[in-house]
Structure 1
Amino acid sequence: MLNRRTLLSHSAKVAALLAGAGLLPQHALAAWNAGAFEGKTLADVAKALGAGAPAESKDVTLTGPDIAENGAVVPVTVSTTLPGVKRLLVLVEKNPSVLAAIFEVSDAVDASFATRVKMGQSSNVYAVAQTADGKMFFATKEIKVTLGGCGG
């Protein structure tokens, strides 16, 4: 009987083998951008993704709790009504790695995603939409954390 940990371990091994053999779709490999995940600010992430300076927009929506009891699992939802969006990002300003998630968007999907992020402390959280022409638009929300989840 497989438990969750064993299943995830086997899945990771299969993915590594497929990637090593060049059998993963190029689109999936293109989504990983180490420079973006190493960025320490919103501007660093934008530069790593080849985008211009981010601008605030009412067409980008971020929802999450005002106060999160546990920073290890903070639920957030990001969405946009902007046309031509190719990526939606979630950033947590005071985390060691600011970029928490990248969602690749196409015309075939609704540009709305729900996820959970780790937060080490109270911080501003950003929802960022990147359009095909390289422009970035964002919304922000301060989320207070009572119990940190990033180990310090």
Structure 2
Amino acid sequence: MKTPFKLDAHPRRPHPPLSSPPAGYFDQLSLRVMARLPHADVPEPAAGWRWLALLSPALRTGLASVAVLGGFAVSFFLSGPQPTSPAVASAAYLDAVSHTELIGYLLTSGARVETSDLAVLTDADPCIAKEFLAATDAELTEALDAQPSEDHMYL
């Protein structure tokens, strides 16, 4: 079995006394180390961009911000015309459908058109109903009387 190692049991070797460093050694140490490092060749800026190096960093940052925001504004305005509003586009699509197809769609049992749907159309174009709602007073009275009414106040 090995005996355990104890550092205190081994005597230390005597060290020679250290001499003090020369005067100003630590003051010049960083300069000496930096002088030994290899220097990268810094390319000279182009002749047209030298004025930019003369500006303060805050002014260069502000100039870059203005350039980015200006580019965004120009691209926004040059991106093309604004899309047409949905009411104008839907009216144009509705005009493209023939009247026979439109009436056939409205008369099918699956289509549930309410008066509020028609009210939106008449608000957009008040003269839209003149083409397909040519009814006499007698027909209108008959249609209104055929409507179920639970409230007798409206009769």
**Short-chain TM bin:** under 0.3
Give the structure-1-normalised TM-score: 0.21
Structure with more helix by fraction: 2
Question: Per chain length, whose mean CA-contact separation is higher, i.e. which structure has more relative contact order (CA < 8 Å, sep 6+)?
Answer: 1
Q: TM-score, normalised by structure 2?
A: 0.20
Q: Which structure has the larger Rg? A: 2
Larger proportion of strand:
1
